[in-house]
Chain A
Amino acid sequence: MSTRQLTANSRQSTAHPKTVTMTIDGKAVRVSEGASVLDAARQAGVHIPTLCHHEALEAWGGCRLCVVDVTRQGWDGWCKLVVSCMYAAEDGLIVLTDTDRVKLTRKVVLDLLLARCPETPLIQELASRHGIDRTSYQANPEPTDCILCGLCTRVCDHIGVSAISTVDRGIGKQVAPPFHQAPPDCIGCLACAEICPTSCIPYETSDTRRVIWEKSFEMVRCPQCGRAHITQEQARHYAGRGGVPASYFDTCDACKRRQLASTFTKLQVVQGGAR
Chain B
Amino acid sequence: MSTEACVDPAALSDILSRYPAAEPSLIQVLQDVHRAYNYLPCDVLVKVAEALDVPLAKVFSVGTFYKAFSLVPQGRTIVRVCTGTACHIRGAGQLLEELERQLDIKAGETTKDMGFTIKTVNCVGACAMAPVVIVGEKYHGAAKPAKVGKMLGQGGGHEN
Which residues on A sit within 8 Å (CB–CB) of B57?
A: 153, 156, 162-165, 177-178, 183, 185
CA distance A246 to B78 in the complex (A): 52
- Grouping DSSP codes into helix (H, G, I), strand (E, B) and loop, the B interface class, with mixed when no group exceeds half, is helix
Contacts A169-B65, A179-B42; A162 near B55 (Cβ below 8 A): yes
Any chain B CB within 8 A of the CB of A181?
yes
Q: Is the pair A166, B61 in contact by a Cβ cutoff of 8 Å?
A: yes
Minimum distance in angstroms from B72 CB to a CB of chain A? 12
Size category of the B interface is: 10 to 19
Decide yes or no whether A242 CB sits under 8 A from chain B: no
In the complex, A253 Cα to B97 Cα: how many Å?
63
List the count of A-B residue pairs having beta carbons below 8 Å apart.
38
B-facing residues in A140-189 (Cβ within 8 Å): 153, 156, 161-169, 177-179, 181, 183-185
Instruction: Tell me the count of chain A residues lying within 8 A, CB to CB, of chain B.
Output: 18
A178 CB contacts on chain B under 8 angstroms: 45, 56-57, 59-60
Residue on A with the closest CB to B59?
A178
Of B1, B42, B45, B65, the contact of A168 (CB 8 Å cutoff):
B65
The majority secondary structure among interface residues of chain A is loop
Does B147 reach chain A (CB closer than 8 Å)? Answer: no
A161 to B, closest residue via Cβ: B55
User: Which of B55, B61, B64, B65 makes the CB contact (< 8 A) with A185?
Assistant: B55
User: Contact string, B51-70, partner A, CB cutoff 8 A, digits 1/0?
Assistant: 00001111111001100000
Question: Is the CB–CB distance between A163 and B64 below 8 Å?
Answer: no
**B-side contacts of A161, CB under 8 Å:** 55
The reply to whether B55 and A167 form a contact with Cβ atoms under 8 Å apart is no
Contacts of A184 in B (CB 8 A): 56
8 Å CB contacts to A: which residues of B1-55? Answer: 1, 42, 45, 55
**Interface of A with B (CB < 8 Å)?**
153, 156, 161-169, 177-179, 181, 183-185
- Chain B residues within 8 Å of A, Cβ to Cβ: 1, 42, 45, 55-61, 64-65
Of the A-B pairs whose beta carbons lie under 8 Å apart in the complex, a sample of 26, sorted by A's number, is A156-B57, A161-B55, A162-B55, A162-B57, A163-B55, A163-B57, A165-B57, A165-B60, A165-B61, A167-B61, A167-B64, A168-B65, A169-B64, A177-B57, A178-B45, A178-B56, A178-B57, A178-B59, A178-B60, A179-B1, A179-B42, A181-B1, A183-B56, A184-B56, A185-B55, A185-B57
